Structure 1
Amino acid sequence: MNITKKDIDKLNAVVTVEISKDDYADKVSKILNDYRKTANIPGFRKGHVPMGMVKKQYGKAVLVEEVNKLIQEALQKFLTEEKLDVLGNPLPNNEAEIDWNSDDFTFSFDLGLAPEFDVDVKKKAVTNYKIVADKEMLDNQVKTIRKQYGKLIAKKEVSKGDEITGTFTSEEKGIDKSTTFTTETIKGKKQLSALVGAKVGDTVVLKTKGMFADDHDNQKYFDVSHDDAHGLDVEVSLKIEEVNEREMAELNQELFDKLFGEGVVSSEKELKEKIKEDAEKQFEQQSDQKLLNDVVESLIDNTKFDLPDAFLQRWIAVSGEKPMTEEEAKAEYERSEKGLRYQLIEGKLRAEHNLQVTFDELKDYSKTMIKGQMAQFGQTDPSEEELDTIAARILSNQEEVKRLSEQLNTNKLLDFFKENAKLKTKEITYDKFVKEAYA
């Protein structure tokens, strides 16, 4: 057997595999002899079928199978030994020319080669948002807490700020939804005016258009689909079943202890500081995800290299469950090209900066997550033996291993970007972050 490679250009090559009869003859002969021993052919005793008949019936199929095995083994070994970084899989280019009646065969395969390029994470600055909880947010959160832990006082008539429990109905949209809401959620002036002064037992007819500030609230309160929620413009009837005024809880030590444990918080100032600390920890997750997305986009846009486009389109056309037409494969390639580019960029970063996840790191990461989950249920000091036992059970599940590996991979990449990428920090409130980052 002989294998050679010819470079077409920097991104394309052809590998030629030459196979002679000596490479496969013994294997084919052995298999045919085994067939002869077990073949059931009418008119012949088992094990006494003439070899000529066995060859006629099975010879070519066995030959093709064994030669293909040789090719796959040889190609894999060649690519490994030559350290060729290929994209997709080798594609045969002379299948139609093979004469299976010959003794010797020559097979040619097209290769798509990964491009050589450099990745500069400092090439262009990316905004790193630091989301802060401002005074308005903290005041609103304190108000929400006081309402949540306050007392309900039953009323007979609706006033501004009250909670209303009732059932919305509409034959036109098939609405029949029991719900509770506060008048503060109502943004439409006409709808609010119709509700204020209504009594328990009354039925109030309301227009849904402009009733809430966000059309997504139509899903919550009317139980309509996402598509129907947008621009919903029908009349609904509200049968008022309860009206309650919520008397806000006092900001005292009893409430503070109920919220955070005894003695952790002892004043409104400390309460706001704790709320701010907890909120900004949660905001950090959103900021990190935004940073990761933006750095990835920046790297794709600013890391220039060519790809073996024609080869990859051919590979896409034949590698799926169903073959694609040339047009379908081209469209699929255009959709996936960006992702492929980032796979190459990420792979290079991981290789050059040792960002691969080891099993020990995965085990430690799983134990950290286990400790966090146990702490939520009051188990704050589990033993190492207990953690090891639970971790071993989790890591025996391949789906869990995959999920945790993806999380840890993402965390390592994010930490690398925070330490090495060119970042410009921008302090911003949550509302402004949502508008600016996801506009």
Structure 2
Amino acid sequence: MNITKEQIDELNAVVKVAVTKEDYQDKVETILKDYRKQANIPGFRKGQVPMGLIKKQYGKAVLVDEVNKLLQDNLNKYLTEEKLDVLGNPLPKQQDNFDWDSEEFSFEFELGLAPSFTVDLKSKKAITHYKIVADDKMIDEQVERIQKQYGKLISKTEVSKKDEVNGVFKNEAEEIDNKTVIEIEKIKSKKALDSLLGKKVGDEVTLNTKGLFKEDHLLGSALGIDSEKSDKLDIEVTFTIEEINEKEPAELNQELYDKLFGADVVTSEKELKERIKEDSEKQFEQQSDQKLLNDVTEHFIENTKFELPTEFLTKWIQTTGEKPLTDEEANEEFEKSEKGLRYQLIEGKIIQENGIEIQFEELKDFAKGFIKQQMAQFGQLDPKEEELDSIAARVLSNQDEVKRLSEQLMSQKLLTLYKEKANLKEKEVTYEDFVKEVYGS
């Protein structure tokens, strides 16, 4: 078998494969002999069917199958040995006069080659790396939420602005009949607020659903309907008051601190606020890192210039899917995937040039870290190492999980690299300002 490459340009090549009879004859003959031993053909004893009949019945199918196997194995071996960095897969060229009755065959395959380019980690323009801090306002609000969450209910006779009211929403036409608790502070409608204030247990008030709550999502849960229906709802409902309570905030004392963090971990209001600040900023760091990763990715895509074998890739997309695509459909699919392909090439080069690898022990430790986090959510704060090893082994036996965890670990390694080598400027912001600046709301 002879394989040669014709370079069309920097991004395209044609590989020619010449297959001779000597390449496939022995294998085909061996398979046909096995067929002869097993063949059951009327008029002949098993194993005594003439070879000419076996060749006539099965010869061409076996030949085609074996030549295709030879092609696949040797073409892949050639691409590896020649270190050809191909995009997609080799595409067989149409040959109008191809003849399977010949003893020698010639095949041609189109190749799309990966472009040559460089990645500059140190951009001229600095990329913003947000450091999100928990300001005093946020910390104070969190302290208030904790006090409210762990406070005690005091029964009231009349509804006031700080109360929680248990009751039943009803509307017969919309089949609404839902028992719920509403916080008066979260009522937006002034008319509804006026209707509720001063009311007593057993009173029934009529409320309009449109603009009833300060947060729109609260309406669905209050009425016991899905958000899609509640978003469009503009009707009157009755609300019958069954219970009125005021939540007295919990005192900031050692009993509360121990309940929150364990015995004597936090011993003062100052330490409580420091802990809230520390925990909040750890959570913010994940959002900040994701924003940085997104921004660096976009920067590389926009500023790393190279050509792609567009025509080849469009043809590859057109012919290798579940069903063939039209020219227009294939062009649309290429446009959708081009950005992702560009970043795959850029990321691959960064990984290669910086020697980034994932070792199995690293992946195992990474998996165990995730498992510990999940167990902590269910109150298992100190799992045994043997238990973690056992769960990690089960997780890593699933190839989909290995792929998912490997991608996440690689993202972490890339993020560490960018923090070390990219041109970053740190910008300290509150969470509120971060949301406004990044999401515009």
**TM-score normalised over the length of structure 1:** 0.93
2:130 is matched with which residue?
129
Give the residue type in structure 1 aligned to 2:205: V
Give the residue type in structure 2 aligned to 1:398: Q
More off after superposition, 203-212 vs 413-422? 203-212
**d(CA) in 1 for partners of 2:363 and 2:439?**
33
1:186 is matched with which residue?
187
Q: Would the aligned equivalents of 2:129 and 2:426 in 1 still touch at CA under 8 Å?
A: yes
1:92 is matched with which residue?
92
- Percent identity, aligned pairs only, is 63
2:351 is matched with which residue?
350
Can you list the C-alpha shifts for 1:372-397, whole angstroms capped at 9, x where unaligned? 566674664845x6654554344333
Which runs of structure 2 are paired with 1:185-204 in the superposition (5 Å)? 185-204=186-205
1:30 is matched with which residue?
30
**d(CA) in 2 for partners of 1:222 and 1:375?**
34
More off after superposition, 20-29 vs 205-214? 205-214
**d(CA) in 2 for partners of 1:341 and 1:19?**
36
2:105 is matched with which residue?
105
Change (3 A) 1:171 1:325: farther
2:246 is matched with which residue?
245
Change (3 A) 1:290 1:183: same
1:158 is matched with which residue?
159
Can you list the C-alpha shifts for 1:355-409, whole angstroms capped at 9, x where unaligned? 22111211232344455566674664845x6654554344333343233222211
Give the residue type in structure 2 aligned to 1:244: N
Q: Would the aligned equivalents of 2:3 and 2:18 in 1 still touch at CA under 8 Å?
A: yes
Give the residue type in structure 2 aligned to 1:286: Q
1:83 is matched with which residue?
83
Q: Would the aligned equivalents of 2:91 and 2:110 in 1 still touch at CA under 8 Å?
A: yes
Q: Would the aligned equivalents of 2:132 and 2:428 in 1 still touch at CA under 8 Å?
A: yes
**d(CA) in 2 for partners of 1:223 and 1:341?**
47
Can you list the C-alpha shifts for 1:168-205, whole angstroms capped at 9, x where unaligned? 23345443333222111112222222221222222222
More off after superposition, 252-261 vs 419-428? 252-261
Which runs of structure 2 are paired with 1:262-281 in the superposition (5 Å)? 262-281=263-282
SS in 1 for 2:318: helix
1:233 is matched with which residue?
234
**d(CA) in 2 for partners of 1:224 and 1:120?**
53
2:297 is matched with which residue?
296
Change (3 A) 1:313 1:211: same
Change (3 A) 1:405 1:231: same
Can you list the C-alpha shifts for 1:125-156, whole angstroms capped at 9, x where unaligned? 22211111112211111111111111101123
Which runs of structure 2 are paired with 1:315-334 in the superposition (5 Å)? 315-334=316-335
1:13 is matched with which residue?
13
Give the residue type in structure 2 aligned to 1:278: D
SS in 1 for 2:367: helix
Change (3 A) 1:219 1:329: farther
**d(CA) in 2 for partners of 1:381 and 1:167?**
44
SS in 2 for 1:97: coil
SS in 2 for 1:265: coil
**d(CA) in 1 for partners of 2:359 and 2:398?**
17
Can you list the C-alpha shifts for 1:78-111, whole angstroms capped at 9, x where unaligned? 1001000001100001244321111111111111
Change (3 A) 1:26 1:394: same
Q: Would the aligned equivalents of 2:132 and 2:430 in 1 still touch at CA under 8 Å?
A: yes
Can you list the C-alpha shifts for 1:213-233, whole angstroms capped at 9, x where unaligned? 332333333344343344543
**d(CA) in 2 for partners of 1:358 and 1:417?**
20
**d(CA) in 2 for partners of 1:180 and 1:359?**
51
SS in 2 for 1:53: helix
**d(CA) in 2 for partners of 1:117 and 1:65?**
40
More off after superposition, 29-38 vs 254-263? 254-263
Q: Would the aligned equivalents of 1:205 and 1:236 in 2 still touch at CA under 8 Å?
A: yes
Structure 1 unpaired stretches of 5+: none
More off after superposition, 361-370 vs 272-281? 361-370
2:428 is matched with which residue?
427
> Does 1:4 pair with 2:32?
no
**d(CA) in 2 for partners of 1:375 and 1:157?**
42
Change (3 A) 1:435 1:213: farther
**d(CA) in 1 for partners of 2:276 and 2:437?**
24
**d(CA) in 2 for partners of 1:172 and 1:424?**
59
**d(CA) in 2 for partners of 1:438 and 1:295?**
17
SS in 2 for 1:8: strand
**d(CA) in 2 for partners of 1:214 and 1:371?**
34
**d(CA) in 1 for partners of 2:328 and 2:376?**
55
Structure 2 unpaired stretches of 5+: none
1:66 is matched with which residue?
66
**d(CA) in 2 for partners of 1:95 and 1:404?**
45
Q: Would the aligned equivalents of 1:166 and 1:178 in 2 still touch at CA under 8 Å?
A: yes
Change (3 A) 1:75 1:382: same
SS in 1 for 2:9: coil
**d(CA) in 2 for partners of 1:90 and 1:243?**
73
**TM-score normalised over the length of structure 2:** 0.93
Q: Would the aligned equivalents of 1:218 and 1:232 in 2 still touch at CA under 8 Å?
A: no
Give 1:270 deviation, angstroms: 2.0
**d(CA) in 1 for partners of 2:375 and 2:224?**
36
2:214 is matched with which residue?
213
Change (3 A) 1:181 1:360: same
**d(CA) in 2 for partners of 1:174 and 1:290?**
44
Change (3 A) 1:292 1:268: same
Q: Would the aligned equivalents of 1:11 and 1:113 in 2 still touch at CA under 8 Å?
A: yes
Change (3 A) 1:396 1:21: same
Alignment RMSD: 2.1
1:257 is matched with which residue?
258
SS in 1 for 2:329: helix
